[in-house]
Amino acid sequence: MKTTFFSDILDRQLKKGAVIDLLGPSCPGNGKVLIISDLHMGGGKRDDFSSNGEIVRKMLEDHYYKNGWSLILNGDIEELAKNTLSEIRSEWSQMYMVFDRFSEDGRLYKTLGNHDEDLVFQIDYPYPLYNSLCIETGIIPIYVYHGHQSSILYTVFNNLLRLGSKYLLKPAGIRNISSARSPRRRFNVERHAYNFSMENNCISVIGHTHRALFASLGRFDYIKFEIEKHCRNFTSSGEEERERITREVKALRLELAKLKRSERLEGAKQSLYGGELLLPCLFNSGSAIGKKGVHAIEIDRENIALIYWFAEGKGMKFISRGWFKVEKKAGFYRAVLNKERLDYIKAKIELFKQ
């Protein structure tokens, strides 16, 4: 049954979106698309983007641009709730030069988020702006939108939130308050986006909550599946591999306990995973303002992947335990956290809905 309020909002937004046809003869980016969101570029000492700005600039310029990828900036790129556009452009002039290069080649797409939707009033803004995008893969449609459209807080009260952020939070030196800070609001946003995707037999790629998701699973849920996978592999492994699996399961259990404590169990209870099998229809590119690195989503004509970029010595601990493919590129490190074929995802969604 449709969740009418949010389904109607998303239906109206997505039908107006631009279409990126990965199979078209004139498709830019050689059928490869990078999705990144929530840069929150601002200015000054408390700029949320300052710690990862160099990683994002170098990975875009030296890896994705040079290798022919298209770029989707999926909302909240500029932090207009606290800064003016001129302040942001002055602070991040080199980043805009990289955006310009993608744009000049017809390989830049930009959707609006709740922190940068005022860009529609900027007469001289250089890039086309969209509420949503549809990526036609020839296998399953992928809708890309920021995600705040599925939150009543941001669809109805966003003007009040921006005023509070500009005149109360910024002078007090408080960082961004968003759905990422509240497990309850984050879960509601993700649940509405998940229901929309399920009802429309499509994939949604959002941002907004700052929580990376792959096939509708967050880190909490994914750890449980990782533990089960390692336990299944244990019996058929040699002695050296068994020792490694034992260490990994112990580390994963500690990480699971840490996640429970950090969200005071509320986040764990509010997982998308419920009593029924979960459809792999919701993905989230995370954010570019994490303390340890930057998450992003890569899509080509056959696959979708959750990617993690980080500086040496600063990556999340579970990356260094050796279960992920890590390569040094553009002076930083790129890890593939999850990767799956689109035809497998489509088949799984169709089978689960039988």
Per-residue pLDDT of 286-333, as tens digits, reads: 999 988 899 999 999 999 999 999 998 887 777 777 678 889 998 999
How far is it, in rounded angstroms, from Cα 184 to Cα 2?
Answer: 21
Question: What's residue 151's pLDDT?
Answer: 54
Average pLDDT rounded to a whole number, residues 36-57: 91
Residues 6+ apart with CB under 8 A from 100: 126
Whether the per-residue pLDDT at 190 is higher than 80: the answer is yes
How far is it, in rounded angstroms, from Cα 185 to Cα 324?
Answer: 31
Whether the per-residue pLDDT at 59 is higher than 60: the answer is yes
Tell me the CA distances in angstroms from 259 to 31, 191, 218, 316, 318, one per residue in order.
Answer: 37, 20, 11, 14, 13
How far is it, in rounded angstroms, from Cα 274 to Cα 269?
Answer: 9
Tell me the CA distances in angstroms from 198 to 143, 267, 274, 278, 326, one per residue in order.
Answer: 12, 22, 14, 10, 33
More confident residue, 183 or 7: 183
Question: What's residue 167's pLDDT?
Answer: 41
Separate counts of helices (H) and strands (E) for the chain: 12, 12
Domain 4-218+275-352, architecture per CATH: 4-Layer Sandwich (3.60)
How does residue 33 score in pLDDT terms, banded at 50, 70 and 90? very high
Question: What's residue 318's pLDDT?
Answer: 75
Confidence (pTM): 0.85
Buried b (16+ CB within 10 A) or exposed e, 72-96: bbbbbbbbbbbbebebbbebbeebb
Tell me the CA distances in angstroms from 302 to 1, 107, 132, 280, 298, one per residue in order.
Answer: 31, 19, 22, 16, 11
pLDDT tens-digit map of 74-129: 999 999 988 899 999 999 999 999 999 999 999 999 999 988 888 988 888 999 99
Residues 6+ apart with CB under 8 A from 65: 71, 98, 101, 102, 107
| DSSP secondary structure code for residue 334 in this structure | E
Question: What's residue 25's pLDDT?
Answer: 67
Domain ranges for the chain, please list them: 4-218+275-352, 219-271
